[in-house]
Each structure stands twice: as C-alpha cells, then as structure tokens.
Chain A
Amino acid sequence: EVQLVESGGGLVQPGRSLRLSCAASGFSFRDYAMHWVRQAPGKGLEWVSGIGWNSDSIGYADSVKGRFTISRDNAKNSLYLQMNSLRVEDTALYYCAKDSPFGSGSYPDYFGYWGQGTLVTVSS
C-alpha cells in the first residue's frame, strides 16, 4: 500500500524558514517523480514544486521560485521542501504527491497518490 506521510509544518513568522518532509513507503520511491501541491484554507489546489526520480528534473511554480528548494533522498525514501522567505500567502496545507510513471519534476502528469498534508501557517 502506497503511503506518503508529511511532517514539518507549523506556525512561522513572515520572512522565516521551514523545512517540510515526506516519508514514502509501499512503492519503489526511486522510480517516480515526486511533487508538492498546496491548498490554501478553503481554496483550490496549486502545484508548488516537483523533482524527477534522480533529481535531474526540478520545477517550481512562479509563486515560489527563488524561495523554495525541493530535494529528495532515495536511500531514505524521503522528499523535502525547504521554504525560505515565507509570506502570509504561503499559508496552506502542503501535500506530498506521487507522479504517474511518465511524469517528471518539471512536467508532472497526474498525481496518483497523495499524503494527508502538513499545515503551514505564516503569520506574525
């Protein structure tokens, strides 16, 4: 059974940093691109960032480019999102999502599996 478990969310002041983690199990993590998708409270879904299976392909939404950095550790079956210079508008539930067999970090396909999310609140 595919499982994705996010952690690392919390309350942080604007301008500060936070690092999210996603622990994956139940599938061959090293074979798939992985992504972060967020959902602001009461709002829709927004793709944030993605990384290819061997970290060769990396993509970011314009809204986070230059502030967020995605990475992965295939030996630990883990995905990360380093979020710097956080803004109030980054407040959201951040989901870790597994790509289809054909997607890449920069060009995701559909998201076959999702974690339960970790909440990031940016507020003074």
Chain B
Amino acid sequence: EIVLTQSPGTLSLSPGERATLSCRASQSVSSNYLAWYQQKSGQAPRLLIYGASSRATGIPDKFSGGGSGADFTLTITRLEPEDIAVYYCQQYGSSPRTFGQGTKVEIK
C-alpha cells in the first residue's frame, strides 16, 4: 500500500501569499496518477487537480499541481479567505487507492 504523507499539517499564511502544499508517497506513483481535493468545513471534498497537474472543470488557475514520481505539490497563489480548507492528495496508480492525511490551510 502506498502511504501518502502531506506536509505541513497546518499552513498559516496572510491573504495574497502563495501556499505550497507537499504530498510525498512511500513509493513512486504510477503514471503520476495523483489527485488533489479541497474540503471546506462542513462540505464534501471537491476535486481540484488530477493527473498531478490537470485542473478539474471550473477550477481557477490560482490552483496548480506539480511534481512526479513520489513527490507532488499543490500551489495556491494569491491566497484568499475562501481558500481556507483542508487539502487532501490521493493516488490512483496502485491498489488500494489511498489518501493523504490532509493539510489545513489557515489565513493569518
């Protein structure tokens, strides 16, 4: 089973700053099959990124995904209060599919 470790656990930034979230896999993720989700408090997760770097339908370009192999990042530019959420990565290159434990993004 691929274990996904997200860091940091909590990210506290000021409005307008750039947030960089990390997702590290215990082994290489096949074909870079890595997705990112945003979950706001009391809401269902929302798909942001799939295939490591492809934005899902309707996702603004302030969200971008990168990386390959076992190291992936989600970057949020121009942080806004509406970006407050927990962000999860998920790999779908190996079975069982697994999620990271999440990174909480806060606004200072």
Contact = CB atoms under 8 A, between A and B. Distances in A.
20 contacts: A44-B101, A44-B102, A45-B37, A45-B45, A45-B88, A45-B90, A47-B98, A59-B95, A61-B96, A62-B96, A107-B92, A107-B97, A110-B33, A110-B92, A111-B37, A111-B47, A111-B90, A112-B47, A113-B47, A116-B44
Main secondary structure of the interface of A (DSSP, over half): loop
A115 to B, nearest CB: 6
A52 interface: no
Given A44-B101, A46-B99, A100-B50, A112 B90 contact: no
Interface of B: 33, 35, 37, 43-47, 50, 56-57, 88, 90, 92, 95-102
A107 B37 CA distance: 19
Nearest to B48: A110
A109 interface: yes
Contacts of B56: 112
Nearest to A99: B92
Counting chain A residues whose Cβ lies within 8 A of the other chain, the interface size class is 20 to 34
Contacts of A46: 99
Contact of A111 (B33, B43, B45, B100): B45
